[in-house]
Amino acid sequence: MGFYEVIGERQSIKKYNSQGPIDKEKLNRMVTAAMMSPSWKNKTSYKIILIDDKKIKDTIADTVLNDDGQVSKGIKDAPLLAVFLASPDKSGEIDGKEYYLVDGAIAMEHFILAATAEGYSTCWVGAANEAEVINAIGAPNNYKLVGMTPVGHSDEQKDHNPKKDFNDYVFLNNWNTPFVNKF
């Protein structure tokens, strides 16, 4: 699958079937993709915790702050949960922007796109009780939750969200000049 096909195929999937565990070679490639992501001053402030233990996944699923419960169920049903943590101490801060979040988010997006290329579905999850997640996996308290994603085979068919109008989001040289049709 080409790069732009991967981008087009990626969706936030909340329902997973039971096609078995994640293939180890594919998982290695997904983790390698995450580890190849850039980070502030090459500090690599993030850690990736891969969870296939049902009890731990269920505990973490119950920490998700989602009203309808779909994300929690998706985490419980998927064969794997990838949790991305990062340490503010191991990255930088400039003008109030903490780069551990950027580092971890780039790594997580590389992982998610690689999972899509390998034929798996994912869903970026960011709203969870951070302290409970960190406790469930035994991580040091100085680490912060960047995000997590279930990984598995989709058990739902859904259309992509409609494309956004470039004129509303992309500009050339200033805020008032839409980018579209300028080249």
Is the model more confident about 167 or about 112?
Answer: 112
Whether 62 is in a domain gets the answer yes
Domain count, the chain: 1
Whether 110 is in a domain gets the answer yes
Whether 150 is in a domain gets the answer yes
- The domain in which residue 13 lies consists of 3-156
Burial class (CB in 10 A: 0-12, 13-18, 19+), 21: exposed
Residue 181 has pLDDT above 80, yes or no: no
pLDDT tens column, 62-114: 999 988 999 999 999 999 999 999 999 888 888 988 999 999 999 999 999 99
List, in sequence order, the alpha helices (H) in the chain. 3-9, 24-35, 54-61, 70-77, 99-117, 130-137, 166-169
**Other beta carbons within 10 Å of 153:** 16
Whether 171 is in a domain gets the answer no
Whether 176 is in a domain gets the answer no
pLDDT tens column, 130-143: 999 999 999 999 99
Residue 115 has pLDDT above 70, yes or no: yes
Residue 182 has pLDDT above 60, yes or no: no
pTM for this prediction: 0.93
What is the CATH classification number for the domain harbouring 133? 3.40.109.10
Whether 21 is in a domain gets the answer yes
